[in-house]
Amino acid sequence: MLNNKVSKAVRLAVAFGAASTAAFSASTFAADEENAEKVERIQVTGSRIKQVDLENSSPVTVLSAAEISLSGEPTVADVLNNLASNSFGSWKGVSGYGAGGAASSNINLRGLGSDATLVLLDGRRMPGTSSSSGSSADTSIIPMAVVERVEILRDGASAVYGSSAVAGVINIITKKDFDGVSVKYDYEVPKVEGGESKTFSITSGYTSEKGNIIFTYENSRDNAIFDKEIWAMDDPTYGAYSGYSHVPNYRIGGAGSYISNPELCDQTADVVNSMDENGVGGCLYNYGNVTKFYPDVENNSFLTNFNYELTDNIRFVGRAMASFNETNSRYAGTPVSTGAVWMDADNQYNPEDEDIRLYMRSVPIGNRDTKTEVVTTDIVLGLEGFTDIGNGFDWEINYQNSISKTNVFGSNLVNDVMLQSAIDSGEYDILNTTGMSYEEWNTQLTDLYQYAAHTGTYEGRYESQQIDGLVSTTFVDNGDFVIAGVVGAEFEEIDFTQVSDPESANGFISGGSGGDDVYATRDRTAAYMEIQASLPYEIDVTVAGRYEKYEQSGMTNLGEKSTTFDKVVPKVGVTWRPTDTLLIRGSWGESFRAPNMGEMFQSYALSFPTVRDTAWCDANPGQSLEGYCSDAGEQVATWFGGNANLTEETGDSTTLGFVWDIVDGLAVELTYYDISYENRIDDVSTTELLRIEQEEGGLGSTPDAIDRANGTGQIDYIYTGYINKASLQTSGFDFSTRYKHETSFGDFGVMLNVSKVMEFEEKADKDAEPFDYAGLQDYPDWKADLGVSYSYEDYSASWTMFYVGAQESGNEEWGVDYLADVPSYFKHNAQFTYTAPTNTKISVGVNNVFDKKAPSWYDGFRDYRDSSWSLYDQTGRSMYLRLEQKF
């Protein structure tokens, strides 16, 4: 009976790549009952109990190293972004994001946020990034060369793994048993200008009777891609324009249309003259012509795994990882917009009889170049053993130290206070009212900006030290009736700081993102248990429970504040095998996530999101379609800060489904999921605040959130931050099938994954009606991938398709008319591989074979920065060459 059960599990494991952290030996599959007793128990993602069955009550998708390679995607981050269960895409670093955000990538299962998806490396938490207050792991730092497989648990698992495992778990398994040396080189060139990618890695390993060790080093370099190059693929004449211009614009009394100097406008590069014969309309700066969309990136990663048998029953195990990432991003010259800049009516260079508000950009001293350095280290040391008392006990004890350090240097920023004082001095004729030559005027403007120039700095440091241990055993094992269990405990100390330079923190600097300072510490204590019972009639029941307590303290604007969060979360799972080929399973569990320290203790920081203030523009007809009331909107100063009064997020997750081994080589899986998420922590977006303002009574009805007290009625500042939103409910279906057919003329394989989001309903507050985002822009309700492969002797080929479903504009739901319906999106990758007798593997491929372009949000024009780069390929067709040599 037991051996039959293992055979079925293994057959399904082949079909679905079921998770395990140890390999079965050949003796495991002996046909007789006597050898069945030699079955090795293994640990499966989704459970801490070592067991004989590779399938458990939670759905797990597994991508092997071969499947990852055949997909054509170059990094772990890109592979995870294409997952069907990664419903709405994931973050991939782009220019213009502070605190190191431009240098990291993460994963966002079910659209619940990267902080609701737990990322493990060989079953242990990956280091959290300082840019996310430790709540998210950077998936881009894992060397692809060392990845054995990736296991995706598509089920809430807080009871097993703790806080953050709300939407699921990503477990990246690295190679362990490796002898020899392997050298790899990847080179990829996209159709868009720039963006060349080069990766070199070397892996070496040694295995002895007592243990093994493996070393991997990887260097990757990605060249920048500029905004203008992506635009040129679609519309060579298209640009992105701003009233904050190289040639200063002004508004009389801060109201009305832009006014500027037309002669200067016509002589200045990257500036468009939109003025009428009276000089009204202004000089608009094409900031998109100089901005990097994807930054220059260089990453050096090192990883080693080792284990050594100290005695027959005790092993010394460990892991060490280090990553050194440098990113150089670029935004256009600084728009002087943190504080309003004015020229008094009595200034000798004021062309009007009233005070005027100036709209300036420090282009003469150069672009805003930002260098981000991220250093991540992770060390794990542990002992694993077995004691043969009673039925025997497996035990382990571990120590883990993780550090993420981020340093950001932003050049050519502007000190608003110094700039204002220089203008007030009456020494600078910035509007050229005296008729200087262009060279004289530009030199004077350069001197002004150099006087007020500022280099912004940011430093973030997140350190975690953890001690944990567990004991597991089989209580009863008499054939058809088996009860096994595990108990464990964890203690973690966390220290987190992020500090920007004082001028930025005090809101004096334009062009940076300073002010989000955090000083906080946290202690986490956890205890857990899990029991699994294998019952007659092929029924397995798993019960798990976990107690977790967070104690944190941090500085706020009102002084130091301490809080405590704790909760017990349970989980129950059931599997049933009514036939040898069919597994029916279900699970239910509660979830729990404590606010991270940035969400609670972050001081207020300034950013400049683009806002479409349709309410003001509708109330003031006849406005220019450029600038504030244009289709593209206007960047508005927005202060964003933490909330020390946040409470923990709670919820529950239910999955029901089956795995059916239809015939040899063909199996299907269908899973229904339902996740309820209460008190979800989220920021209040500017779009949401504008909608609330309309619902509250129109313009000016929410002054604490939207400041319009600048005399024009337009937005001066927006204030927002984190809140506990009332609830979020999402449900849907996952479908998977894999088929492998072996013939005398080659082997064929097919893999299909489909995810359907039935609902993604959010309530802004407890009394609000739920708003269903599923199927609207950025929330596709369908996502899928299909892979077809063929191999014969030393040759193989593959074709992979990634699909993102169509999305409705949301115009009716949002009460606007400028959004566009988003069409369905197909991306195709192709690859051909030859393995030579010299152990040389050569792969050539094309990603995005048909050069499919990302769709646009807007009706009538394209703005790719607002079409979700997390869902679509922005760079067009790319060609790559991959070489691997094994010795």
pLDDT tens digits for 361-381?
999 999 999 999 999 999 999
Strands 610-611 and 605-607, sheet pairing: unpaired
> How many CB atoms are closer than 10 A to CB 346?
9
pLDDT band at 29 (very low <50, low <70, confident <90, very high): very low
What secondary structure, in 3-state letters, does 432-486 show?
CCCCCCHHHHHHHHHHHHHHHEEEEEEEEEEEEEEEEEEEEEEEEECCCCEEEEE
- Greatest Cα pair distance, the chain, in angstroms, is 101
Q: Please give the angle made by the CA atoms of 758, 759 and 760, to the nearest 5 degrees.
A: 140
pLDDT in tens, 602-647: 877 766 677 778 788 878 877 665 567 766 567 777 877 788 888 8
Distance in angstroms (rounded) separating the CA atoms of residues 251 and 360: 12
Residues 6 or more apart whose Cβ sits within 8 Å of residue 346: none
Neighbours of 625 (CB within 10 A): 11
Mean pLDDT score, 701-706: 79
- As a whole number of angstroms, the distance between CA 632 and CA 825 comes to 23
Q: Which two tokens stand for residue 784?
A: 């899928």
Give dist(CA 160, CA 529) in Å, integer: 8
CATH code of the region 2-237+292-336+368-420+448-886: 2.40.170.20
Per residue in 193-230, pLDDT tens?
888 999 999 999 999 989 999 999 999 999 998 888 87
- Looking at the DSSP assignment, which residues form a beta bridge with residue 784? 754, 803
Mean pLDDT along residues 246-251: 92
Ranges of each domain in the chain? 2-237+292-336+368-420+448-886
Residue 819, pLDDT score: 81
Taking residue 688's Cβ as centre, other Cβ atoms within 10 Å add up to: 17
What's the pLDDT at 582? 93
- pLDDT tens profile 278-288: 767 888 888 87
pLDDT of residue 37 exceeding 50, the answer is no
pLDDT of res. 625: 57
Name the most confidently modeled range: 269-278, 435-444, 640-649. Answer: 435-444
740-760: average pLDDT: 93
Distance from C-alpha of 848 to C-alpha of 829, rounded to nearest angstrom:
5
pLDDT at 40 > cutoff 80: no
Instruction: Collect all residues with Cβ–Cβ distance below 8 Å to 280 and sequence separation of at least 6.
Output: 257, 258, 259
Residue 409 clears pLDDT 80, i.e. is over it:
yes
Alpha-carbon distance of 319 to 699, in angstroms, equals: 58
Q: Are 798 and 791 in contact (CB under 8 A)?
A: no
The better pLDDT of the pair 688, 841 is held by 841
Rounded distance between C-alpha atoms, residue 642 and residue 647, angstroms: 13
Q: Which two tokens stand for residue 206?
A: 């040694």
Confidence of residue 99 (pLDDT cuts 50, 70, 90): low
Report whether pLDDT(64) > 80. Answer: yes
Q: What DSSP character marks residue 777?
A: T
844-872 pLDDT, tens digit each: 999 999 999 888 777 665 555 555 667 88
Q: Note the pLDDT of residue 764.
A: 73
Residue written as token pair 């004991």: 471
Kindly state the average pLDDT of the residues 232-253.
76
**What is the Cα–Cα distance from 854 to 825, expressed in whole angstroms?**
8
CA distances from 157 to 168, 665, 682 (A): 6, 30, 21
Q: What is the pLDDT of residue 27?
A: 29
| Averaged pLDDT, 160-189 | 89
In this structure, what is the dihedral angle of CA atoms 277, 260, 334, 293, given to the nearest 10 degrees?
0
Dihedral sign of CA atoms 179, 70, 225, 242 in order = negative
Residue 16 pLDDT greater than 50, yes or no: no
d(CA 109, CA 247) in angstroms, rounded, equals: 46
| Mean pLDDT, range 404-426, rounded to an integer | 93
Tokens of 815: 């009460």
pLDDT of residue 471 exceeding 80, the answer is: yes
3-state helix, strand, coil in the chain (%, to 5): 15, 50, 35
pLDDT value, residue 862: 54
Taking CA atoms, 406 is separated from 129, 140, 370, 440, in Å, by 8, 15, 13, 41
Among 320, 373, 330, smallest CA distance to 511 is for 330
Q: Side chain identity at 196, as an amino acid letter?
A: E
Q: Residue 759 has which token pair?
A: 């609902």
Q: pLDDT, tens digit, for every residue of 104-153?
A: 677 888 888 888 888 898 888 888 887 777 788 888 888 888 888 889 88
Give the number of other CB atoms < 10 A from CB of residue 161: 25
pLDDT score, position 238: 56
